[in-house]
Structure 1
Amino acid sequence: MPFVHCAGPPVSVRSIAMTITLTGLTKRYGSTVAVHDISLQIAPGKVTGFLGPNGSGKSTTMRMILGLDHPTSGTALINGRRYADIRHPLRTVGALLDAKAVHPGRTARNHLRAMAASNGIPERRVSEALETVGLTTAAGKRAGTLSLGMSQRLGIAEALLGDPEVLIFDEPVNGLDPDGVRWVRQLMRSLAAEGRTVFVSSHLMSEMQLTADHLVVIGKGRVIRDAPIQQVIAGSAATEIRVRSPQAEALRGHLAAASITVRQTAPDELAVAGARIEQIGDIAYAAGVRLHELSRQDASLEEAYLELTANDVEYGAVR
């Protein structure tokens, strides 16, 4: 199957769906617990975002999935197998953890050729991968001379090289310009639409909100939230119902009497938290209050994330 080009719909649905399964995954460094008893499944056919503050254990978790770090206890399996037991791993799992982890003297093309040879991947895939990430004209440049953004693209090409079912990316948009960020977003969604398993970490909340279908949020090595992105956002205290009415003051009293949290944001406007639209509409109808607007105002992912991780930030500035 050729690589995905981001314009247009995905070319097909994958015939093999692979799941990443973490069971009781724990990693200790001396007295420090970097990852604590994580159990979750990363399913195919969707983009799963992996969020957490610095030092929360995201990179360590990804490294254990890829066999770069050994768990103190628990397992990290890809379709029931450890990464180390996969004969040609690049044909099953593609990963980008460190874009600069390339021999600086090798050209981009020769780097990919060496990776292809080591995993029994046809050499034609090298040219396809370079074309997919937009590095065809830079294929002869030495890796040590590439900018951070170009290095990121080369790392993504390496991840795509074996046409794998599972893709793992740690901060893939780091160093990319706005056009490159949009390209990565479209690529991630296209790969997931083909039925692949896409697991990606990022600190860019606005971009993750546009990219991810499902979120895993961790803090201090523990899972805080594992849910579809809309559930995470809907659970934020910053999600409110906006109400506009020429009788806003009267409606405010009726809502408060029903023990509903409400604040007046303008003479004809209220912000209501912890209530359903239907509930507010019924109260207004019973009170004979006219409504000009009744709409849900979702929180941003950033607001929801900061609420979830407020007690789990290890390195925070004094405010």
Structure 2
Amino acid sequence: MEKILEVNDLHVSFDTFAGEVKAVRGVNFHLNKGETLAIVGESGSGKSVTSKAVMGLIPNPPGRIKQGEIKFGDRNLAQLPEKEMQKIRGSEISMIFQDPMTSLNPTMTIGKQIMEGLIKHQNMNKSEAKERAIELLKLVGIPNAEGRVTEYPHQFSGGMRQRVVIAIALACNPRVLIADEPTTALDVTIQAQILELLNDLQEKMGTSIIFITHDLGVVANIADRVAVMYAGKIVETGTVDEIFYNPQHPYTWGLLGSMPSLDSTDEELIAIPGSPPDLLDPPKGDAFAPRNPYAMQIDTEMEPPLFKVSDTHYAATWLLHEKAPKVEPPAAIKKRMQGMAPDEPIIGAKDGGKHV
């Protein structure tokens, strides 16, 4: 498949009074044309920093890209001056942020906010831009778009505001769309509608999507491939089926185990013990070792490479070394993985002994 974006050995740091925070530490991934790549992990794992580095939105100071390249076509975005990035940002690569209310200007009408990018990047006049803004509002499912184009953000519900933000991001037909936890602030019903909308828009427009989230349940519904991040590094990557049904890294086991299960009788979710490491002073070896019940001595001494599981599946854990003891996921996690089999119904009802 054609690679539309490629990130190689990306390091991003922030200079603070306490010292240098190494937020992203050697991240590598690529995005294929027309696919959705989900980047998942706990808060502080480096997901959003990575996406903002791609957009050229790392504030300097205090942040900086220490090394690495972000290849977009024949350009390295990590080295482009701000004026050149402004031409790309919004037109070729767009971003949907987590909270639509902080993304929208409360003093401007929805229509004007959509029109801004069209006038700047597409060289449209005001009349053409307004007509296109109405088309975009219809595309993202805003009813009575002709009337609502003159309304302000506070006149829209949370779900409708997120649809408006998506319309702004898609206004210039970008080749890459970065969605940074776009459904976190929404209730589950609206969340499902937004995910369905993104899927529909991708089919219609062929946009490649990087979807940032901490929710593996969301990933299952939208992603083609998944990259699992921990402590500023990608620790496992594979297709969505490989990550859900054949995970190899103990951290991925923990993420899957912490998901609520519809058929579980357990009163408590399985939690990952401990806390993420302090990236002011990253630990030697495998950063997950202090929280890993299967950690070996080598985990505290040497950082594991990405071991190949298949042509599309890699995991950075010494458990995949040929001399490592054979360890399987805990029984409770295996049960949850088996319970997520794609052919089984997720909702069931019984009446009079008959299963519906």
TM-score normalised by L of structure 1: 0.65
Please say if 1:76 is aligned against 2:70.
Answer: yes
| 1:97 counterpart = 2:97 | yes
Partner of 2:164: 154
Residue 199 of structure 2 corresponds to residue 189 of structure 1: yes
Question: Paired residue for 2:138, among 123, 128, 131?
Answer: 131
8 A contact 1:17–1:195 mirrored in 2: no
Letter in 2 for 1:297: Q
Letter in 1 for 2:190: G
Q: Which residue of 37, 41, 66 corresponds with 2:30?
A: 41
Distance (whole Å) between structure 1 residues aligned to residue 11 and residue 40 of structure 2: 18
1:306 maps to: none
User: 1:1-50: per-residue Cα shift (whole Å, max 9, x none)?
Assistant: xxxxxxxxxxxxxxx96612111111111321100011111112221111
Match status 1:173 vs 2:186: no
Change (3 A) 1:158 1:300: farther
Task: Give the drift of 1:94.
Answer: 2.2
Match of 1:115 in 2: 117
Which secondary structure state, in structure 2, belongs to the residue aligned with residue 22 of structure 1?
strand
Larger Rg: 1
- How far apart are the structure 2 equivalents of 1:173 and 1:130? 18
Structure 1 stretches of 4+ with a deviation exceeding 6 A read: none
> Unaligned stretches of 5+ in structure 1?
1-15, 240-258, 266-270, 274-295, 302-319
Q: Which residue of 2 aligns with 1:225?
A: 236
Quick one: distance in 2 between partners of 1:216 and 1:180? 25
Q: Distance in 2 between matches of 1:185 and 1:95?
A: 15
Q: Quote the Cα distance in structure 2 between the aligned partners of 1:297 and 1:128.
A: 44
SS in 1 for 2:122: coil
SS class of match (2:186): coil
Matching of residues 228-307 of structure 1 within 5 Å: 228-236=239-247, 297=338, 299=340
Contact 1:20–1:43 (CA<8 Å) still a contact in 2? yes
The more displaced of 126-135 and 156-165 is 126-135
Matching residue within 29, 41, 50 for 2:14: 29
Deviation at 1:138, TM superposition (A): 3.2
**In the alignment, which residue of structure 1 is the partner of 2:49?**
60
Question: Per chain length, whose mean CA-contact separation is higher, i.e. which structure has more relative contact order (CA < 8 Å, sep 6+)?
Answer: 1
| Number of equivalences | 239
> Is the deviation greater in 105-114 or in 131-140?
131-140
1:20 aligns with 2:5: yes
The 3-state SS of whatever aligns with 2:56 is: coil
Deviation of the 1:156 alpha carbon? 0.6
CA distance in structure 2 between the aligned counterparts of 1:125 and 1:77, rounded to whole angstroms: 31
* RMSD (CA atoms): 3.4
Deviations 1:180-211 (A, max 9, x none): 32332223333444543111112332222121
C-alpha distance in structure 1 between counterparts of 2:327 and 2:181, whole Å: 41
Determine if the alignment matches structure 1 residue 212 to structure 2 residue 201: no
Of 143, 151, 174, which aligns to 1:141? 151
**Shift of residue 142, structure 1, vs aligned partner:** 1.6
Q: CA deviation at 1:158?
A: 0.8
Change beyond 3 A, Cα 1:213–1:88: closer
Counterpart of 1:115, as a letter, is G
Is the contact made by 1:46 and 1:189 (CA closer than 8 Å) also made in structure 2?
no
CA distance in 1, matches of 2:172, 2:3: 15
Give the C-alpha shift of residue 103 in structure 1.
1.9
Distance (Å, rounded) in 1 between the aligned partners of 2:188 and 2:14: 38
Superposition deviation, residue 139 in structure 1: 2.4
Whether 1:51 and 2:40 are equivalent positions in the alignment is yes
Segment drifting more, 86-95 vs 19-28: 86-95
Q: Give, in angstroms, the shift of residue 299 of structure 1.
A: 4.9
Q: 1:166 to 1:156 in 2, by over 3 A?
A: same
